[in-house]
């Protein structure tokens, strides 16, 4: 079954039992369930922290979409990463992480080191010799990366990294927040876990924070569910419902946004004050061939390097259609300076290591008319340049 078919009417494919034939997920917004009224039911519910029909339905859809064995919907994206760490790591373990990672992951790893003595090694995952050197010389329990990375937009060869990780008996997890299962399936490429923030492209409307983690094996899926229940990580039924509203249009939104992002990237390359534009859909991208091999859709996120901090700041202030907001993947276009917002927890030294400056702007392209977005950016840049000339 194709993904579009799976997502078009999720109640047909998620084992939901509804006496009234609801065409979208019913919301079981209840804390507890009456055991005496569930006689003869295949699955018995008692407490919504442990299990809830609405949440279980979305977990089933995500498991099918990722081609996994089972998973958990969490209350935020970072909660999915926390659940992964808490499930597979113990005090004294070590993890290997792509150095261009989400700022929240970086902050969480620092907390884990301070509280639980979890040591983190960072590497450039496009340099596989660097990755193998760390794996060979250290006992690494877990390897984690994003692809595309955020905000550097590097593409990691997930199949190749999975082979290296397996060689040294470590576990491999992929943060699939930016690409989503509409673009790539990390578990099919050898990962043990695929996790993501559903706040972004999957829900698509900026109306809810949410996350999920899917395991390749039934054993790890069961452990994730156990730890989620023990620690209260599970997502509320109403938030599950909000996430589910974005699923039928996910593929079509992302394809439309991809085309807009490509046109926007090409137009920015023509502007002298723009030093560099990173977008995996551009043929100039260093991993462009890997993009075509590994991904079905290129997420609509650009990283733009302007010639000065002043220009970057002024562009953000002078755009009319781009809100200055964190996150990405929503219907509305948005801009941010990662060093100041999503990656503010990075040290100055670590920001330099991943090529971020205060003149670096991340652009998330939404569903507005493409020409309107292009003209808005051009007028913002022109207004600054003209002012400088005067």
pLDDT (tens digit per residue) in 243-276:
999 999 999 999 999 999 999 999 999 999 999 9
β-strand 70-74 against 211-215: which pairing, if any? antiparallel
For the stretch 20-39, pLDDT in tens is 889 899 999 999 999 989 88
SS3 188: helix
Q: Which CATH number applies to 250-389: 3.90.1150.10, 3.40.30.10, 3.40.190.290, 3.30.420.40?
A: 3.90.1150.10
Find the mean pLDDT for residues 34-55. 90
Across the range 76-85, mean pLDDT stands at 96
Q: Is 135 left (phi over 0), alpha (psi -120 to 50) or beta?
A: alpha
How far, in Å, CA of 72 to CA of 87, rounded? 12
**Structural fold of domain 3-244:** 3.40.640
Spans of all domains in the chain = 3-244, 250-389
pLDDT band of residue 336 (cuts 50, 70, 90) is: very high
Average pLDDT over residues 378-385: 84
Phi, psi at residue 120, to the nearest 5°?
Answer: -115, 130
Mean pLDDT in residue range 105-121 = 91
Give the predicted TM-score (pTM) of the model: 0.94
């Amino acid at each position: 079954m194709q993904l579009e078919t799976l997502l078009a009417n999720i109640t047909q494919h998620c084992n939901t039992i509804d006496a009234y034939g609801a065409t979208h997920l019913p919301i079981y917004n209840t804390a507890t369930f009456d055991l005496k009224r569930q006689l003869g039911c295949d699955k018995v519910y008692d407490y919504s922290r442990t299990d809830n029909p609405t949440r279980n339905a979305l977990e089933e859809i995500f498991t099918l979409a990722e081609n996994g064995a089972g998973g958990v919907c969490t209350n935020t994206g970072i909660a999915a990463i926390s659940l992964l760490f808490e499930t597979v790591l113990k005090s004294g373990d070590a993890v290997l992480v792509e150095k261009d990672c989400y700022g929240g992951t970086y902050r969480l790893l620092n907390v884990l080191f301070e509280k639980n003595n979890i040591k983190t090694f960072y590497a450039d995952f496009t340099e596989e010799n660097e990755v193998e050197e760390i794996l060979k010389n250290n006992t690494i329990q877990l390897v984690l990366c994003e692809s595309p990375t955020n905000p550097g937009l590097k593409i990691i060869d997930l199949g190749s990294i999975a082979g290296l990780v397996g060689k040294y008996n470590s576990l491999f997890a992929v943060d699939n927040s930016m690409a989503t299962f509409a673009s790539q399936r990390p578990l099919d490429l050898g990962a043990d876990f695929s996790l993501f923030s559903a706040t972004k492209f999957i829900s698509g409307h900026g109306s809810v924070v949410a996350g999920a983690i899917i395991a390749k094996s039934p054993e790890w899926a069961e452990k994730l569910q156990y730890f989620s229940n023990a620690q209260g990580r599970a997502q509320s039924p109403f938030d599950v419902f909000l996430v589910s509203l974005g699923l039928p249009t996910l593929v079509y939104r992302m394809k439309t946004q991809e085309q807009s992002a490509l046109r926007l990237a090409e137009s920015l390359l023509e502007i002298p004050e723009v030093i560099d534009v990173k977008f995996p859909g551009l043929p100039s991208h260093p991993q462009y061939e890997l993009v075509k091999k590994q991904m079905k859709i290129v997420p609509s996120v650009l990283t733009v390097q302007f010639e000065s901090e002043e220009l970057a700041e002024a562009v953000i202030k002078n755009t009319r259609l781009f809100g200055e907001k964190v996150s990405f993947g929503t219907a509305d276009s948005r801009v941010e300076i990662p060093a100041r917002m999503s990656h503010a927890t990075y040290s100055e030294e670590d920001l330099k290591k991943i090529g971020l400056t205060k003149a670096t702007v991340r652009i998330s392209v939404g569903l507005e008319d493409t020409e309107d977005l292009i003209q808005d950016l051009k007028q913002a840049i022109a207004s600054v340049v003209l002012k400088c000339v005067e």
